[in-house]
Chain A
Amino acid sequence: MSSFDLVAPASEEEAVAWLARAPTGETAVLAGGTDLLNDLEEQRIAPRHLLSLRRLPWNRWSWTGPALTIGSTTPLVDLEYDPKIRSEFPGLIGAIEAVGSVALRARATLGGNLGRSGSASDLIPMLLALDASAEIVGPSGRRSVPVDALVVASRRPALDPGELIRSVLLPEPRASAYLWQRIRPAQDVSHVGVAAAFSPGDGRWRIALGGVPPRAIRIHPGASELPGRPSKAALEAAARRAAERLPLATDLRATGEYRRLVAHALVIRAVEAAGAMREGAP
């Protein structure tokens, strides 16, 4: 006998209506399940009901001019194999490829990652650097919220009761890079992840650092502090300031001071890698 029941609504309205009626604290939302199922196996959670999103038409993406909207249940592997996304959002692809393995990414989704992972996420730093926002659907309709405001900590998205993450919007393609440091290069949790993206709109860099609880930190250096094509010294100084903002958190993977050392080096490298992709920027 199953310890929970599994509900799979066929429409967004049904899903929202069901969730609105569901007993709070006894319900979990199932997207790809790669994280949720481990929590269930280890008995970290014991929900009575699982709301599966698999039948909702949220497993695809669309372009609106330069903007990309990614349905929250799109398997990461689908994004990674799409040539256009690969060329327009290289940093996002780099972050996706840092998540687990190919077979894990066949189930893992962007929405699940936003809803469940905090400090360990490789995707959230990149979404922050791309100024991504999430479209939320709930009892009072749809709303848009910046990823920066949505992700608070692991497994605690800033959602109201009954709300679901419907999609993620990336406003524009950006020269971008995601670099990480781990004990094992393949298939490991990054103890530091650095995303860098350059916005041609305002001529400013976005940098985000991940790896430390509660979640990634977004850094938005001014154009004078970190120009589009920074000198070595400016980049070095900006990287130092960015790394200093990383909390000194020590865990099994790394000490806080080592994380700062790595963050400093990777900010420089990520900006250089993203910068090398740019053409015609100021």
Chain B
Amino acid sequence: MSGAGRADAPVKLRGAAVYGTDLSAEGMYWGALVPSPIAHGRIRSIDLAPARALPGVVAIGADEVAGLLPKGAAAETPIFPKEEVVYRGQPVAAVAAPTRALAREAARKVRVDLEPLEIWGSIDTLLPEWPGADPPRIGALNAHVHARHGDLEGAFRSADFVLAETYRTSGVHQVPIEPHACLARVDGELWTVETSTQTPFGCREDLASILGIPEPQLVVRGSWVGGAFGSKGSALLEPYALLLAKASGRPVKLQLSYPEEFRLGRSTLPSVIRIESAVRDRRVVGRRVRLVLDTGASLPGRDFTLGYSAGFLLGPYSIPAVEVEGYALRTHKPPFGPHRAPFVPQCTFAVESHTDHLAHRLGIDPVEFRRASVWTEGATTGLGQTVGPFGLDAALARAAEIVREWRATGPPGHGIGVAGGFWSTGTGAGGEARLRLTPTELEIEQGEREIGSGSVIRGIAVGVEQRLGLDAGAVRVAYLDTATAPFDSGVFGSRTVGALGQAAEKAADALRTELGRRCGVSGAAAEQIRLRPSPEGLVVDLGDRRRAVRELLTPEELARGGLRVEGRHYGRSGTIDERRVLEGSFHPFNDFVGAAHVAEVAVDPEIGSVEVVRYAAIHDAGRVVDPTTARAGIEGGVAMGIGTALLEETQWGADGRLENPSLLDYRLPTLAEVPPIQVEFIEGYPGAGPRGAKGLGEPPIVPVPAAIANAIFDALGVPVGELPMTSERVARALKRL
């Protein structure tokens, strides 16, 4: 079994896969959004008339929305702002026209008259230091979380030394190569959107709340997805496209241009991080961390990231006394959005750089220093959660071997760094899958789309194939819309195999039981049932005899496309010790997935440029479901992490303008910047997935910026402390400037 020969490769290689950007329909109009030209302002007027004067153009604004929605529909949040715009590029109106060029022209013709208001721009100047610092006062506070445990004052008072450091991180964008795109239509009561999404049901839920239309009247159908990485997890264009379809009476295609993708897409924004550690007898006895996160125009209470990522700032280590505090600030930038492992690579960069600096100060090998306090099963986190099976220590031990080997073979002057990292999967979010057995084939009917990682097209099929004794690739995955598919939470959080995959396996178990019943066997005998292909179609192998599937299906089932059985999986979430929480809410970890990465860099000491020359990623995978797919996902995550570490940065002006909304000025790694990546797996620390599998979607990116930072520190002896570590920042760290 392998990713090679994956079932989606042929259609994609023929150029026949229909992505969101490829969607089209007879008589289709193109939509375009009218952006706010400033980041904060009071709306004086928005004049649609000049757009409407163009032939065939339909234009809608805040005043039109209510008339387009069904009677009684109660939109929760305004689709277009009525009084105030809160970020530059915020859609204030939308147009549809027979051609794309005309739609763009019409959008430009809309006259937007705004009274400028004060702009909360950058948080870069904040210094969130202790003690005595006030809460940050730039922008408004969206959320505040605070937790503590243990005798922190005692730990700091009796410390041999305290290391206090500040880190800064820049905004990074997901940049799927396919921009957001969808096709909407309204037929009578039914509002349908085909879209490039990683969560069709989540999109339907968002639409129901944004438009106030009941879910049964909304249908979301996923297209092929040209990359997502968190950016295609909630409704973005779909509400506008549906309203334009309603207003024009035509199917409407809406697609973001790349500059719009940068300006309108929900991406990660800048942060400032403070970490202070009290060290006694060569161990960290107390740690306090403070995260100040720019959450843009996110609404209060909507932010999940802060209470989730702040917990990662303490690191995967047992520390007797801890304090963690997080501030989410509202600024006039687009709302913060999840980017592969939302904000955890940044937190890991800070805490794992800090860990290396502590080891350096103590004169201890950094890997040995980590291993002295790294969590193992049964340890307790700073928030009082008990750690489950966790292979980070084993991964670190292997990393130490790789470091020794590379030190012996690498040229002098290169730096080698190690970072550990962990991730908590989203397997608590449930899912359902349905198997459809016909005389000739077995299919999984479900509502997700494959987003590239293989977690749908391979991940959920593997367990079914193994359960039923079928060859790899024998089970087809069908993509249904939300009206016909059983519910699933979405492709995110490394949960797909763990939750939807288990739902499919449970459906396979139920299918075996049902086939056993029809063949007159039950219990252990039914568990031995296998499906076999034969020239006449599928047969049920009962060990001592075989029955053709055709004979076992009822006439009704044959007429309705086969026998259908469903499986459900709703996992449990972990729990934290709420007594440690002073304010806000922290999120528990669901599953503990560890990874240790090793980076080797060549640094130009004159001008500061950094080249990653070798890379190793050792992953605690629980049990590897599909080695080729797992390896490919890790290679991709490392490359993305190299971007975060060295290249990628959204550059925001004080006026809330994104200064670099293009692929020339926002730099993704090319193959020239990605070195060979050695991938290894640690097994034996089972997770919540099928037979102990752990999710691998996010973990590969988590330790990358930290590992590269530690390699640079090893080469130069000075920390850079800021992401991305561009050559200029490295040169500054070297005091060349």
Do A and B touch (CB < 8 Å)? yes
Name A's interface SS: loop
Question: Chain A residues with Cβ under 8 A from B609's Cβ?
Answer: 181, 185
Interface residue? A37 (CB, 8 A): no
Interface members, chain B 605-646 (any A CB < 8 Å): 606-607, 609, 611
Determine the residue in chain B with the shortest Cβ distance to A254: B728
Considering the chains assembled together, what is the distance between the CA atoms of A265 and B737 in angstroms?
13
- A183 touching B726, Cβ below 8 Å: yes
- B670 touching A258, Cβ below 8 Å: no
Considering the chains assembled together, what is the distance between the CA atoms of A183 and B611 in angstroms?
11
- A186 touching B660, Cβ below 8 Å: no
- A188 touching B664, Cβ below 8 Å: yes
Question: Chain A residues with Cβ under 8 A from B65's Cβ?
Answer: none
A interface residues, how many (CB within 8 angstroms): 20
- A184 touching B731, Cβ below 8 Å: no
Interface residue? A233 (CB, 8 A): no
Considering the chains assembled together, what is the distance between the CA atoms of A131 and B259 in angstroms?
39
Interface residue? B667 (CB, 8 A): yes
- A258 touching B728, Cβ below 8 Å: yes
Check A189/B673 contact, CB under 8 A, given A255-B728, A258-B731, A261-B736.
no
Please, what's the 1-or-0 string for A246-267, where 1 marks a CB less than 8 Å from any CB in chain B?
0000001111011001100110
Question: Chain B residues with Cβ under 8 A from A266's Cβ?
Answer: 607
Interface residue? A11 (CB, 8 A): no
Q: How far is the CB of A115 from chain B (nearest CB, A)?
A: 20
Considering the chains assembled together, what is the distance between the CA atoms of A158 and B726 in angstroms?
36
Considering the chains assembled together, what is the distance between the CA atoms of A261 and B732 in angstroms?
11
- B672 touching A186, Cβ below 8 Å: yes
Interface residue? A24 (CB, 8 A): no
Interface residue? A187 (CB, 8 A): yes
Interface residue? B573 (CB, 8 A): no
Check A261/B669 contact, CB under 8 A, given A181-B609, A183-B647, A252-B660.
no
Interface members, chain A 168-212 (any B CB < 8 Å): 181, 183-189
Question: Chain B residues with Cβ under 8 A from A262's Cβ?
Answer: 607
Considering the chains assembled together, what is the distance between the CA atoms of A162 and B609 in angstroms?
45
Question: Chain B residues with Cβ under 8 A from A189's Cβ?
Answer: 664-665
Question: Chain A residues with Cβ under 8 A from B736's Cβ?
Answer: 261
Considering the chains assembled together, what is the distance between the CA atoms of A184 and B728 in angstroms?
12
Considering the chains assembled together, what is the distance between the CA atoms of A104 and B669 in angstroms?
18
Instruction: Find B659's partner among A183, A187, A252 (CB 8 Å cutoff).
Output: A252
Question: Chain B residues with Cβ under 8 A from A43's Cβ?
Answer: 108
- A261 touching B647, Cβ below 8 Å: no
- A265 touching B670, Cβ below 8 Å: no
- B607 touching A261, Cβ below 8 Å: yes
Considering the chains assembled together, what is the distance between the CA atoms of A186 and B611 in angstroms?
12
Instruction: Find B607's partner among A185, A257, A265 (CB 8 Å cutoff).
Output: A265
Considering the chains assembled together, what is the distance between the CA atoms of A253 and B731 in angstroms?
14
Interface members, chain A 231-282 (any B CB < 8 Å): 252-255, 257-258, 261-262, 265-266
Instruction: Find A261's partner among B660, B664, B665, B731 (CB 8 Å cutoff).
Output: B731
Q: How far is the CB of A56 from chain B (nearest CB, A)?
A: 29
Considering the chains assembled together, what is the distance between the CA atoms of A266 and B607 in angstroms?
9
8 A-B interface contacts by CB (under 8 A) = A183-B727, A184-B670, A185-B611, A186-B670, A186-B671, A186-B672, A188-B667, A258-B737
In the complex, the 7 A-B pairs of residues with the closest C-beta atoms, listed nearest first = A186-B672, A184-B667, A186-B670, A258-B728, A265-B606, A262-B607, A265-B607
Q: List 8 additional A-B contacts (Cβ < 8 Å) besides A252-B660, A261-B737.
A: A184-B669, A185-B611, A189-B664, A189-B665, A252-B665, A253-B665, A254-B728, A258-B731
